[in-house]
Structure 1
Amino acid sequence: MHMKDSVLAQAFGLIAAMDRDLIEIVSLSLFVSLSAVTIACAIGFPLAALLATTRFRGRGFVVLVLNALMGLPPVVVGLIVYLNLSRSGPLGFLGLLYSPTAMIIAQVILITPIVAAIARQIVEDLHDEYAELFVSMTVGRWTAMRAVLWDARFSLVTAALAGFGRSIAEVGAVIIVGGNIDHLTRVMTTAIALETSKGDLPLALALGVILLMIALGLNAAISAFRFTERRVGYV
């Protein structure tokens, strides 16, 4: 018990002292995840609006594939990105392997289907409410897409937060394409795995506490946005 108390005290001591290595790892984690979420939203939201407001042959299959991609195995994504970015791969000339950019690419592939699938359901429900109004006003497809995306903006934040939560907790893909290199590609999840295997429990626990705080903060933010939606009448 004394040892556990000591490790816990050291972990909180690292957090309180704003340990340089700790801050560096957390900062890189946030940079990679926020970058990936931003790109995923830029791709996923328009795709969601297109699927929600347009009827075309094969749409059901596209939606089915999109939903299936939500469960992409991270290690498989990491392997695919690695093969493409490695020196012998088609994109090897870019020299991106074992860099934060490679980690962002892997995370974008992982979370874009999640963001798009959640956003599609949100936008489709809203579009169904406005469908008759759009028809009576002869609103064009692109105008309708912009309108429902704007009206669903609070709900879409929930989709973005879900993507961020998935991104910040990712370990399999980022360790393959990032290499877990100290001071370059070491993020919270990969650092926790490494430091635990090395026996450096205070740093691993400190990172775990911060990761848990981020998770709790995300849940609180999602609940707050849902409460806001109810107040403004979106759900």
Structure 2
Amino acid sequence: MNEILQGLIQAFWLILSFDSELITISLRSLYVTISALIISTLIAFPLAALLVVTRFQFRRAIIITLNALMGLPPVVVGLIVYILFSRSGPFGVLGLLYTTSAMIIAQVIIITPLITSIAHQSMQALWADYRNLLISINISKMQRVVTLMWDSKRALITACLAGFGRGIGEVGAIMIVGGNIDNATRVLTTAISLETSRGDFSLALALGFVLITLAISVSFATHWFGKTERGELW
């Protein structure tokens, strides 16, 4: 019990003293997740809007596949990315394995289906109200896409926050493709796993508190945007 209490005290001290290792790992986690989030949104939002405003063969199959990929095991994603970027893989010449770039790629694969599905559901509901109007004024499909994305902006922000929450807590794929290398690819989740196995509970707890704070912040932000989207009070 004394060891746990001492670990908690040391953990809070590391946070309050802005420990350099703690700050570095936290910033690296944010860099990887935010980079993946930006790339994912650039893919997910236009794709979701196109799936709403257009009708084509295999459209339904694509939607079902995206919904299914929301539950894709992260370790499987990590394995696939590892094989692709290993020395014997098709993209091994790029030398991206065990770098933050490989970690970003893995996170993009993990969170893009989630963001796309949430964005598609939001814009699909809006399209039901806008469809006749947008078709009657005879605007192009691209203009319809832009209109839907603009008027769904709060829901899209919620989708981004959901993607961020999924990415920042990822450990399996990140561990496989990043290698948890000190001062290179070590992030919050992989560092917690390592420090726990080492028995350094103070640093593990400090990292855990940072991760929990980020998760709670995202949860509050998602709740707030959801409330304001529906015009409800907090």
TMscore range, shorter length = over 0.9
- 2-side partners of 1:66 and 1:3: how far apart? 46
Q: 3-state DSSP class of the match of 1:138?
A: coil
- 2-side partners of 1:45 and 1:111: how far apart? 12
C-alpha deviations, 1:166-210, integer Å up to 9, x for none?
000000001100000000000000000000000000000001111
The residue aligned with 2:66 is: 66
Runs of 4+ aligned structure 1 residues displaced above 4 Å come to none
Q: 3-state DSSP class of the match of 1:170?
A: coil
The residue aligned with 2:49 is: 49
- Which residue identity lines up with residue 151 of structure 2 in the other structure? D
TM-score where L is the length of structure 2: 0.97
The residue aligned with 2:145 is: 145
- Which residue identity lines up with residue 142 of structure 1 in the other structure? M
| Residue 2 of structure 1, CA deviation | 2.5
Residue identity over aligned pairs, in percent, reads: 53
Q: 3-state DSSP class of the match of 1:98?
A: coil
Tell me the matched-pair count.
232
Alignment of 1:82-161 (within 5 A): 82-161=82-161
| Residue 54 of structure 1, CA deviation | 1.0
- Which residue identity lines up with residue 38 of structure 2 in the other structure? T
- 1-side partners of 2:97 and 2:195: how far apart? 23
Q: 3-state DSSP class of the match of 2:230?
A: helix
Q: Which runs of 5+ in 1 are unaligned?
A: none
The residue aligned with 1:3 is: 3
Q: Which runs of 5+ in 2 are unaligned?
A: none
The residue aligned with 1:230 is: 230
Q: 3-state DSSP class of the match of 1:231?
A: coil
Question: What's the Cα RMSD here?
Answer: 1.0
- 1-side partners of 2:128 and 2:38: how far apart? 27
Q: 3-state DSSP class of the match of 1:90?
A: coil
- 2-side partners of 1:76 and 1:231: how far apart? 40
- 1-side partners of 2:109 and 2:230: how far apart? 32
The residue aligned with 2:212 is: 212
Q: Does 1:13 align with 2:13?
A: yes
| Residue 59 of structure 1, CA deviation | 1.2
| Residue 140 of structure 1, CA deviation | 1.9
Q: 3-state DSSP class of the match of 1:205?
A: helix
- 2-side partners of 1:46 and 1:93: how far apart? 31
- 2-side partners of 1:51 and 1:3: how far apart? 55
- 2-side partners of 1:106 and 1:212: how far apart? 22
